[in-house]
Amino acid sequence: MEHKVCAEMLGELNEYIDGSAKEQVCAEIEKHMVECPDCRIFVDTMNKSILLFQQQDAQIELPGEVRERLYKKLKLDDILGAQEPNSQHGR
């Protein structure tokens, strides 16, 4: 399978996984996954990760350094600053 198709499909995965994608998009993604084991494994892994996260009883606290690197990688630095215990927000 062509990697270009895989890259295009990645743009639609959020909506597909959360069930908000249009019916035609879902059909295209499902057809592609039949032909592409890499994408099928990726989607299965994402679904399992979401399920495991939803089944947790308690929120896992990431160590500060790990949380900081994750937020920076996801470009969520502004949220990280607002959640810092020594943050000036609300003072």
Averaged pLDDT score across all residues of the chain: 79
DSSP-derived 3-state class of residue 6: helix
Is there a domain that residue 7 lies in? Answer: yes
Whether residues 38 and 63 fall in one domain: no
Domain span at 79: 59-85
Q: Of the segments 4-8, 36-40, 48-52, 79-83, which one has the largest average pLDDT value?
A: 36-40
Residue 65, pLDDT above cutoff 80: yes
Using pLDDT thresholds of 50, 70 and 90, give the confidence band for residue 81.
low
DSSP per residue over 11-75, as a string?
Answer: TTHHHHHHT-S-HHHHHHHHHHHHH-HHHHHHHHHHHHHHHHHHT-SSPPPPPHHHHHHHHHHTT
- Please tell me the total count of domains within the chain: 2
If asked whether residues 44 and 73 sit together in one domain, one would say no
Asked if residue 91 is part of any domain, the answer here is no
